[in-house]
Amino acid sequence: MKKFEALGLDKSLLDAVADLGFENPSEVQEKAIPILLETETDLVALAQTGTGKTAAFGFPLIQKIDSNSRTTQGLILSPTRELCLQITNELKLYSKYEKNVSTVAIYGGASITEQARQIKRGAQIIVATPGRMKDMINRRLVDISKIDYCVLDEADEMLNMGFFEDIKDILSNTPDEKSTWLFSATMPKEVSHIAKKFMHNPQEITVGTKNAGTSTVQHEYYVVGGRDRYPALKRLADTNPDIFAVIFCRTKRDTQKVAEKLIEDGYSAGALHGDLSQNQRDLVMNSFRKKQIQMLVATDVAARGIDVDDITHVINYQLPDEIETYTHRSGRTGRAGKSGISMVIVTRSEMRKIKSIENKIQQKFIPKKIPTGMEICEIQLYHLANKIKDTEINEDVEAYLPAINDVLKDVDREELIKKIVSVEFTRFFNYYNKAKDLNTSESGGRDRDRSNRGDTPTSGSVRYFVNVGEKDGYDWMSLKDFIRDTVGLNQDDVFKVDVKESFSFFNTDAAVTDKILATFTDLKVEGRFVNVEVSKNPGGGGGRRDRKRSGRSSGGGRDRSYSRSSGGRDRSKKRDRNQGKSENSGNRRSKKRKSNFF
């Protein structure tokens, strides 16, 4: 792998790279930057979301423009206001050691006069959404007749959003001899059409496979009755106490409704859709970005701008009409080298859509079962135990201890533990005790082979609890590899791996149980005992099935810097709808930029 120094960038830009904490260029950067620096060429670059495309065009653009001239020389078109602002901010960071480079953002929903004023002061680079750009051209507030470079960023999304005509109009105001650089996550025929129509012999760069969804994303589906979508969603959230997810609905109405219900049920959720004002949308997005909201319920259009790196789950509350849209949805997770899960709640009649998506993304879905009430209780119980273990002691409790000890003096340790966990457990237990099985079999009827008490073992398969999880740097892929390699098992012997924040579950065939338990007796990894026990709930989904995945990248390894504080959820009181005041806002550690994440 080349270093940034080998790509041909000037010292001022390399200094900015160092400040950003980027250690190695990503693949798209390594491929695109030298080409764009050395030649005047059109370029089509295909790379998934989160692979660092902004820097791939941003650095060459900044290096190539003439900073002594105030003329507008570069235009970047991007689909949403969010992305537009993000790109602008990134470019400002890239050019921090360049004197006189000015980048201006142009987007709807903000004062056009103010934007025009900034342009007038001189902007060598304009980052714009197509709608506002066209508006400003029509009002003669910008002049792009002398640009040398035009970047079409997230071209597939711009076309998805219906910006083809606007782009065409905008480009008709630019000189023919400019270079056009097109960046896109996917290559639907509309994008190749644009490339043919507006570009001359473009060079092509492809990172990963064309059209494919992100390979670090595991795709799962859950078959339920049409009326059980919401309870199914709740159970998925309850099984993943540290979830940080985008939930996609098809309509604005459903989006609003689902978000409201979640909030009413005590989850930390928010809605994002087009009927909200720009201001409301900004508020929700900010809370989500700061993780004050755990679950963002969104429409496809409103979610276009979401560019948050550590989304753990994408949940398709309903499937989209267009398959292409599914790719965009699932691409919101598994970014920046992390693994993610895209869950689909489907009814039996929608199963054929799953097949079409599989064909499109060239990846298999894993059929999963909505957890039973008792499985959820078990997960919550372990979660609580771990939370207690990891809680930092607040020394201010000291003063109250004598009195508290007095109250508890007749309770021994064992009883105390039982009591403490019962506080939480009973709440879930009461809720889920009589809860029905929500799963519908793909061929028809409710599944009969699992009772809601979860006490019917899946024949031949054993579920285990293990005391390591995300905070030890594991994701489902690396944990699976770890167990397989430690015990000496074959590729598919470990399955249904569910990694939680501080513990995990997995399954194997009963035949290897003794081997597993023997291996994990007194096994220390990096000074710490890794403890495996047979889980009291054998569930975790139906029988074994084909778990083949295609094109898995090896990037999903361990990452010890990754840590999230546990979710700010409290079902005992209804949440203030003003999500800005969520309880865990203050204590979040600032996220370190990662290097080597590809």
Contact residues for ligand ADP, defined by CB under 6 A: 22, 25-26, 29, 47, 49-55, 307, 309, 336, 593-595, 597
Decide which of Mg ion, ligand ADP, none touches 220; Cβ closer than 5 to 8 Å per partner kind: none
Tell me how far, at minimum, the Cβ of 270 lies from ligand ADP, in Å.
22
Tell me how far, at minimum, the Cβ of 352 lies from Mg ion, in Å.
33
Q: Find the part of the chain contacting Mg ion (CB under 5 A) among 53-61, 102-110, 429-437, 510-518.
A: 53-61
Count how many Cα atoms sit within 13 Å of the Cα of residue 387 in the half-sphere of its side chain. 18
Decide which of ligand ADP, Mg ion, none touches 126; Cβ closer than 5 to 8 Å per partner kind: none
In degrees and rounded to multiples of 5, residue 20 shows phi and psi of -70, -15
Cβ nearer to ligand ADP, comparing 185 with 366:
185
Cβ nearer to Mg ion, comparing 53 with 569:
53
Decide which of Mg ion, ligand ADP, none touches 248; Cβ closer than 5 to 8 Å per partner kind: none
Cβ nearer to Mg ion, comparing 333 with 458:
333
Tell me how far, at minimum, the Cβ of 153 lies from ligand ADP, in Å.
7
> Whose CA is closest to 207, among 503, 482, 527, 555?
555
Cβ nearer to ligand ADP, comparing 235 with 329:
329
Q: Helix, strand or coil for residue 206?
A: strand
Extended beta strands in 133-185, E state: 149-152, 179-184
Tell me how far, at minimum, the Cβ of 336 lies from ligand ADP, in Å.
5
445-454 long-range contacts, CB within 8 A, separation 24+? 447/369, 447/542, 449/542, 450/369, 450/372, 450/539, 451/372, 452/372, 452/373, 452/374, 453/372, 453/373, 453/374, 454/372, 454/373, 454/374, 454/375, 454/537, 454/538, 454/539
Cβ nearer to ligand ADP, comparing 29 with 218:
29
**Are 236 and 294 spatial neighbours (Cβ–Cβ below 8 Å)?**
no
Decide which of ligand ADP, Mg ion, none touches 73; Cβ closer than 5 to 8 Å per partner kind: none
Cβ nearer to Mg ion, comparing 53 with 229:
53
**Are 555 and 216 spatial neighbours (Cβ–Cβ below 8 Å)?**
yes
Cα–Cα distance between 433 and 9 in angstroms, integer?
Answer: 62
| Cβ partners under 8 Å of residue 103, min gap 6 | 88, 91, 92, 95, 123, 124, 125, 126, 127
Tell me how far, at minimum, the Cβ of 351 lies from ligand ADP, in Å.
31
The dihedral region occupied by 52, where left means phi > 0, alpha psi between -120 and 50, and beta the remainder, is left
Q: For Mg ion, which residue of 16, 45, 53, 142 counts as binding (CB under 5 A)?
A: 53
Angle between helix axes 164-171 and 130-138 (nearest 10 degrees) is 40
Decide which of ligand ADP, Mg ion, none touches 552; Cβ closer than 5 to 8 Å per partner kind: none
Tell me how far, at minimum, the Cβ of 95 lies from Mg ion, in Å.
18
Question: H helices within 434-571, ranges in order?
Answer: 476-487, 513-519
Tell me how far, at minimum, the Cβ of 530 lies from Mg ion, in Å.
39
Decide which of Mg ion, ligand ADP, none touches 25; Cβ closer than 5 to 8 Å per partner kind: ligand ADP
> Whose CA is closest to 385, among 443, 424, 344, 346?
424
Angle between helix axes 373-390 and 413-432 (nearest 10 degrees) is 140
- Asked if 369 touches Mg ion (CB under 5 A), the answer is no
Here the tokens at position 507 are: 């399954």
Cα–Cα distance between 253 and 269 in angstroms, integer?
Answer: 16
Cβ nearer to Mg ion, comparing 81 with 463:
81
Ordered DSSP codes for 531-584: -EEE-S---SSSS------SS--TT----TT---PPP---TTSPPPS-GGG-TT
Angle between helix axes 81-94 and 53-64 (nearest 10 degrees) is 50
Decide which of Mg ion, ligand ADP, none touches 595; Cβ closer than 5 to 8 Å per partner kind: ligand ADP
Instruction: List the beta bridge partners of residue 466.
Output: 504, 532
Tell me how far, at minimum, the Cβ of 53 lies from Mg ion, in Å.
5
Tell me how far, at minimum, the Cβ of 478 lies from ligand ADP, in Å.
20
Decide which of Mg ion, ligand ADP, none touches 567; Cβ closer than 5 to 8 Å per partner kind: none
Cβ nearer to ligand ADP, comparing 336 with 376:
336
Tell me how far, at minimum, the Cβ of 166 lies from ligand ADP, in Å.
21
Q: Tell which positions 389-408 bind Mg ion, by CB under 5 A.
A: none
Residue 463: Cβ within 10 Å count: 23
Tell me how far, at minimum, the Cβ of 133 lies from ligand ADP, in Å.
19
Cβ nearer to ligand ADP, comparing 83 with 233:
83
Size of the site for Mg ion (CB under 5 A): 1
Cβ nearer to Mg ion, comparing 355 with 591:
591
Residues in contact with Mg ion, shown as a per-residue x/- string from 7 to 46 under the rule CB under 5 A: ----------------------------------------
- Say which residue the tokens 């899960």 belong to: 341
Element (H, E) at 116: helix 112-120
Cβ nearer to Mg ion, comparing 301 with 512:
301
Residues that bind Mg ion (CB under 5 A): 53
